[in-house]
Chains A and B, each alone.
Chain A
Amino acid sequence: MRSRPVYGELTPRPGSGHLFVADGEGAEAILDLFQKAGAQASSLLEKSHIIYMPGPNGTDFGARLEALGAAQYHRSPSFASAQSRLKKVLADAHMGLQIYLAGTEGLMGQAQRDVIEAGLPHEAVQTEHRGSTVRRVQCVHCKGITENVRTDPIKCSHCGLHLFVRDHYSRRLAAFQGVNIDAEDPGQVPAAVERFK
């Protein structure tokens, strides 16, 4: 599916500052990046700001990230609670700031959306997928987002329709598409299979 994002591997890039947003196992992508940076790591850290939150599976490597000694480190309990901070940082930013996102697709998608709104093209953001593969799914019918989707089909957490989880992905919504699976034959819902962990 050509709309499905392709994630890479975080690499240090030249820039006037470095903003990291990560959840859960995404912490290890950041730790690996500083490992790779070698001798440059300390000068990079002097210009780094890390925003971190535990993953949807509970993984919390906050202590290891904090120990890196970045100029700014902030741990949030959730993306929702980190978002106002992220938006403020982006509003104050200058061109040259490098953006690094790591962890679950839901976290990276939502943070990337804020970066795009602040004015950077989406392809300027580095991403690395680590940890859980649970999905954010938009119900195309009621428009509600169901977070941390593990199975396919799922029941929409808003309208209750049974949804087939497509691979079609919207960057603007930071979500996969969920489409009613029993529309043509109401009531015939296949058993849910765990596709995302």
Chain B
Amino acid sequence: MGMEFNKETFRKDFTFKNSAKAIKRFPFPFYEDSYMYSVNMEPHVPGPKGSVFEPMFDVDEHYVAEMQDRAMVLAEDPLRCQSLPHMTLAGWDLLELIMESKARDYPEWFELHKDGHNWHWINRPLGIDQKFTFLDESTLPYGPMEYITRQSQGDFTLQDQRDDNLWIEAGMVTTQADWSLDFDIGMSFHEWHAPVPRAHELGVFDRALKFLLKLQHGAPVRRFNWTLTVDPLLDTSPENYPKWGPMRADISPENVGERMYLRVELQTLHRLPRSNAIAFPIRCYLIRFDDLVTVPKWGRRLHRVLRDIPEDLATYKGFLRNRDSLVKWLSQYDDGAPTSTGWMAD
């Protein structure tokens, strides 16, 4: 495949940039011209060639830079990666799932060789060559979940299942939409979703939990979530809110196209075999408004979605103060033409 990995940053000088190819395959999350919470889960089966759905875990041009950013976040704040003691086995399950998937989907970059429990893992983009014993923590430099998620784009949480509930009890969270793993770890499904407006009343979490409790190994599912971010900052954590919060006050109609980003989470859910836990990878994709409106359907639709979204959702997603500027800027790209249903560009 021979992809070049971008040399870019997600902080300070923000040199992050999507190539034309990355813009074309961007997972635009709005199926129609309006948005409301729903369970919206579908089987995570391989999608069209070149799409972000093609592999189990997408590896794109931002891979190496994202992993460098993660290492910086962890050096500043090790609490972003935590695993309660009983979740180690789930961490091994996750390590196996990611290593097998990547070695299968990207053989030119990743290799996994197994001889019983003696495993050999090669990650060429990051220059890693690791021999270790599966299920033996002493043979890896980090715990299994931390080890593999330092090499995988997106955040990850692991949910234990018991008493007909899911409990978020391990995670690697450095590219999050303003929630704190350190605070939420140990909570039940409804507890960690407690701050989300409307969805509880709509019954979304009741239905989602019921569905996930029956999730089967071998049958992963996926859904989208989204928010908006000023500048391509991956780490919009509550921990660092005093550092990035002021950036929201910088937005004006003049710089919307350049500094506003649509932030899309491709969330997948996988039943893990040995632990019976559920892995929840939350993969974050960023796209600058200027780039997004190069696809006419996306520009029209994002304008309509942001214009009509209820105020409490805009508040929760953190863009209420800038909504008028965003909608005004986007309106230039909405000629009122009808849009087709679905995510694909017209």
| B246 part of interface (Cβ distance < 8 Å) | yes
Q: Is the interface of A mostly helix, strand, loop or mixed?
A: loop
With A140-B238, A141-B241, A179-B241 as given contacts, are A171 and B321 in contact (CB-CB < 8 Å)? no
A185–B321 Cα gap in the complex (Å)? 11
Q: Which residues on B sit within 8 Å (CB–CB) of A186?
A: 246
A44–B15 Cα gap in the complex (Å)? 69
A150–B321 Cα gap in the complex (Å)? 29
- Inter-chain contact A177/B183, CB cutoff 8 Å: yes
Number of A-B contacts (CB under 8 A): 63
Q: Which residues on A sit within 8 Å (CB–CB) of B242?
A: 141, 161, 180, 183
A143–B184 Cα gap in the complex (Å)? 13
- Number of B interface residues at 8 Å Cβ cutoff, please give it: 26
The residues in B between 274 and 332 inclusive whose CB is less than 8 angstroms from any CB of A are: 321
**Closest-CB distance, B197 to chain A (whole angstroms):** 11
Digit string of A66-86 for contact with B (CB within 8 Å is 1, else 0)? 000000000000000000000
**Closest-CB distance, B37 to chain A (whole angstroms):** 15
| B9 part of interface (Cβ distance < 8 Å) | no
With A1-B195, A168-B195 as given contacts, are A183 and B245 in contact (CB-CB < 8 Å)? yes
**CB contact between A168 and one of B182, B183, B185, B239 (< 8 Å): that residue:** B183
Digit string of B219-248 for contact with A (CB within 8 Å is 1, else 0)? 000000000000000000011111001101
Q: Which residues on A sit within 8 Å (CB–CB) of B195?
A: 1, 3, 166, 168
Q: Which residue of A lies closest to B178 (CB)?
A: A179
Most buried by A among B183, B191, B239: B183
Q: Which residue of A lies closest to B180 (CB)?
A: A140
| A173 part of interface (Cβ distance < 8 Å) | yes
| A184 part of interface (Cβ distance < 8 Å) | yes
The residues in A between 152 and 197 inclusive whose CB is less than 8 angstroms from any CB of B are: 161, 166, 168, 170-173, 177, 179-180, 183-186
| B273 part of interface (Cβ distance < 8 Å) | no
Q: Which residue of B lies closest to A176 (CB)?
A: B183
**Closest-CB distance, A160 to chain B (whole angstroms):** 11
| B24 part of interface (Cβ distance < 8 Å) | no
- Inter-chain contact A138/B246, CB cutoff 8 Å: no
Most buried by B among A4, A166, A173, A184: A184
A138–B238 Cα gap in the complex (Å)? 12
A140–B187 Cα gap in the complex (Å)? 16
With A168-B194, A168-B195, A179-B241 as given contacts, are A3 and B246 in contact (CB-CB < 8 Å)? no
A36–B192 Cα gap in the complex (Å)? 36
**Closest-CB distance, A146 to chain B (whole angstroms):** 15
Q: Range of interface residues on chain A?
A: 20 to 34
**Closest-CB distance, B265 to chain A (whole angstroms):** 20
- Inter-chain contact A141/B191, CB cutoff 8 Å: no
A177–B239 Cα gap in the complex (Å)? 11
| B186 part of interface (Cβ distance < 8 Å) | yes
With A141-B239, A141-B241, A183-B241 as given contacts, are A172 and B186 in contact (CB-CB < 8 Å)? yes
| B249 part of interface (Cβ distance < 8 Å) | yes
| B200 part of interface (Cβ distance < 8 Å) | yes
| A94 part of interface (Cβ distance < 8 Å) | no
Q: Which residue of B lies closest to A159 (CB)?
A: B242
10 pairs, CB–CB < 8 Å, chain A vs chain B:
A1-B194, A2-B193, A3-B192, A140-B182, A140-B241, A171-B187, A180-B241, A180-B245, A183-B242, A184-B321
Q: Which residues of B contact A (CB under 8 A)?
A: 79, 163, 180, 182-187, 190-195, 200, 238-242, 245-246, 248-249, 321
Q: Which residues of A contact B (CB under 8 A)?
A: 1-4, 121, 123, 138, 140-141, 143, 161, 166, 168, 170-173, 177, 179-180, 183-186
Given contacts A3-B187, A173-B183, 8 further A-B contacts (CB under 8 A): A1-B195, A2-B200, A140-B238, A140-B241, A141-B238, A171-B186, A179-B238, A179-B241
